[in-house]
Structure 1
Amino acid sequence: MKARMLLVEDDAALAELVAWHFRREDFEVRQTVDGEEALLLAREAAPDIVLLDWMIEGLSGLEVCRRLRRMPETQNVPIIMLTARGEEEDRVRGLETGADDYVTKPFSPRELVARVGAVLRRVRPALAGETLSFADIEMDTVGHKVRRAGQVVPLGPTEFRLLRHFLEHPGWVFSRERLLDAVWGHDSDIESRTVDVHIRRLRKAINLPGTADLIRTVRSAGYSLDTAE
């Protein structure tokens, strides 16, 4: 499963170097030098992580960061800022704007790869390994097997993808529309109410006798994988 990266950097040589290193690590990298285009790319296909230069064409990196945090598609996507501004006040501004980490130029590409990996392990465990787990549910993403409390749970392909998406984002609340985009794809003609049908099937499959219902319905918002009642 490739991690999707949006790289926003106007130094062409540095951008190519960074992109090369991450493609070698099996990332799917989309690049731009422009802040407005970065927002358009993020809307078209939400990345798993954003590498964002502070000083870019058009909008500043800080403003792009602010807008990414306001967009529903990217409000939870990790953002690492790349900048030559190393003063503490600048780092604080970047973090307060919504960045998750801050890398000062010049930097080692190997260190950057490690920093990105650390961030993804925190927020997208599926991108760092082959097994996903939450509470007493375990998913083998390679073998396409799911267990609950040690018992094998047979799932159809759609329910498997749906559960996988929840396991990749435990605690996040997803609307029907966002689940359609994530599980069925942007070009899907399926109606949003179809999500409810597959949620019911998923609940029926994974809610074994004596186990809690981990799929939480959030009124007027959507669904979440959560232990909260």
Structure 2
Amino acid sequence: MADEKELHAVVLDCGPASAIDFTICARLKKEPRTGGLPVIALIAPGAENQHLELLKAGIDESFVRPIAPAKLLDCLRTKLALPKSGSNGIENGSWICCGSLEMKLDAHRVRGNGRDIHLGPIEFNVLRHLLEAPSKVFSRDELINAAWPDNIHVGARTVHVHISRIRKALKTASPGSVIRTVRSIGYSLEMADD
């Protein structure tokens, strides 16, 4: 499955006497494509001795079942540096979220509904500024100051071109996110009504 799909983490539900779990974990950790994936094991009660073998295989975290689903989700959010559910603003150090739109600042990564959105550096900086204060209207000058280097002269038309590129990218990956034009004033990021 890891060879066929893009995974973000693996949760192994380990049987009490299963040796295959160690093999799966070791294989995932050796592969260049999956070596960085967090691997979390759920160990059967009474089989805590599996923990040592799983550590040798490279497991990142293990829990003895039964485990509260919220605890597992919190662990996954921490390991993946994901924003907490329902958050708006900077969470976990480097994520900005608004609705289904997520931006990881240090990786220059944007996702909408879990799908990657590819933006150039200027578009990334403009969207970041809009995401930091959803629904707030920013003038073109404010966006220029936030997104462009100081030594570059930028006109209003250039801002409009970059806004158009962001809108096009959001339309396919995050249709609930809309950049609204406020005539003669500027732009704001809005979440469309469901």
TM-score by length of 1: 0.42
Structure number with the higher helix fraction is: 1
Q: Give the greater-gyration-radius structure (CA).
A: 2
TM-score by length of 2: 0.49
